Amino acid sequence: MFVHALVLRSAAVACAATLLVAAACAQSGVSAPSREDCLAEFTPQTGQPGKDVIWVPTNDRLVTRMLQMAKTTPQDIVYDLGAGDGKIAIAAAKEFGATAVGVEYNPDMAKLGQCYARAEGVADKVKIIQGDIFETDFSDATVVTLYLLPDLNLKLRPTLLEMKPGTRVVSHSFMMGEWEPDERSMTQDGSAYLWIVPAEVQGAWTFRERDGTDAFGIVFEQAFQHVTGTVGTGPSATLIADGRLTGSEIEFSLQRNGRTAKARGQVHDDRIDLTVTEGSREVVYIGTRS
Ligand SMILES: C[S@@+](CC[C@H](N)C(=O)[O-])C[C@H]1O[C@@H](n2cnc3c(N)ncnc32)[C@H](O)[C@@H]1O
């Protein structure tokens, strides 16, 4: 192993020595280690202790499935919290073209993951950083993956719910308490759950017709992605039904002019652009907080 490392180091020095031979070195594969080279430095054991949870890798097919559930694209920034050998972050880059960060507490595992990222040719898109998931800022993530434990998911939940609406969270095996998943996948490879961070709409809103004079008020009651609420006040108040948030998209049914109408809209912080469909008639309202 020592001789091997020495050979690699001398080759790297030779490669760096001249630009002319650098291309040849890259072609010969000297600049990128193989996965075996990475393992020669540190070989992890399934079940080895971790800070808050042991290391057990997610199987390859489930990794792909989790990233598919998140609808991962090259525009995404994927964080795997408790990254182990970096396999989810590496797959996010290799299979989906995403930028990815793995956060791993064990420094040997983090080094191994970074080495695997080089071996897989995605070191430009993947960083495996050594850190504690409860002390690392991952607020720029658009996709968060987890394979932790139920109580660790619950500990992360307030931070996840503060993330940008539409951020996708996918967990292998474990749930988020009473925050129900938006999608479940149960296969022989294991179970995975998807949550889409909902916008925050709790409270009183006034909706005014964009091209007219109609207006009404709604008080929304929100529990994660589920929304109930009351339209108007007093004896004529009615309840909304089937209210749901998918990221910043809101939909619900309400009573308008004595019949059931369907409302769909987009939440932009303190404004909701809402289209209410009553039969064949569509009316656009702008909602602001009352
Ligand atoms: C069950 S493994 C999952 C590995 C990888 N995400 C996967 O699915 O293949 C959990 C990983 O979290 C790491 N870990 C435990 N507590 C941690 C913490 N507080 N911060 C960062 N990583 C942690 C462990 O070392 C282990 O590698």
CA of 147 to the centre of ligand 1 (A): 7
Q: What is the DSSP string of 24-46?
A: HHHHHT-SS--HHHHHHH----T
Closest Cα to atom 20 of ligand 1: 132
Give CA separation, 22 vs 5, 119, 202, 278, in Å: 19, 17, 59, 68
User: pLDDT, tens digit, for every residue of 179-234?
Assistant: 999 999 999 999 999 999 999 999 999 999 999 999 999 999 999 999 999 999 99
Substitution candidate for ligand 1 out of 133, 137, 156 with most atoms within 8 A of CB: 133
Q: Which residue has the higher pLDDT, 88 or 2?
A: 88
> Which residues are paired to 264 by β-bridges?
251, 275
CA of 208 to the centre of ligand 1 (A): 49
Burial of 207 (0-12, 13-18, 19+ CB in 10 A): buried
User: pLDDT, tens digit, for every residue of 96-121?
Assistant: 999 999 999 999 999 999 999 999 99
Q: Which atom of ligand 1 is nearest to the CA of 50?
A: 25
Q: Which residues contact 94 (CB under 8 A, 6 or more apart)?
A: 120, 121, 122
Cα–Cα dist 101/38, whole Å: 19
Cα–Cα dist 77/195, whole Å: 16
pLDDT at 21 > cutoff 50: no
CA of 203 to the centre of ligand 1 (A): 38
CA of 56 to the centre of ligand 1 (A): 8
Q: Which residues line ligand 1 (CB under 6 A)?
A: 50-53, 55-58, 80, 82-84, 87-88, 103-106, 109, 132-134, 147, 172
Q: Which atom of ligand 1 is nearest to the CA of 134?
A: 19
User: pLDDT, tens digit, for every residue of 54-103?
Assistant: 999 999 999 999 999 999 999 999 999 999 999 999 999 999 999 999 99
User: pLDDT, tens digit, for every residue of 125-173?
Assistant: 999 999 999 999 999 999 999 999 999 999 999 999 999 999 999 999 9
Q: How many CB atoms lie within 10 A of CB 215?
A: 11
Q: Which atom of ligand 1 is nearest to the CA of 52?
A: 16
CA of 175 to the centre of ligand 1 (A): 16
Closest Cα to atom 6 of ligand 1: 83
CA of 44 to the centre of ligand 1 (A): 12
Residue ranges and CATH numbers for the domains of the chain are 1-31 (no CATH), 42-196 (3.40.50.150), 203-289 (2.40.128.120)
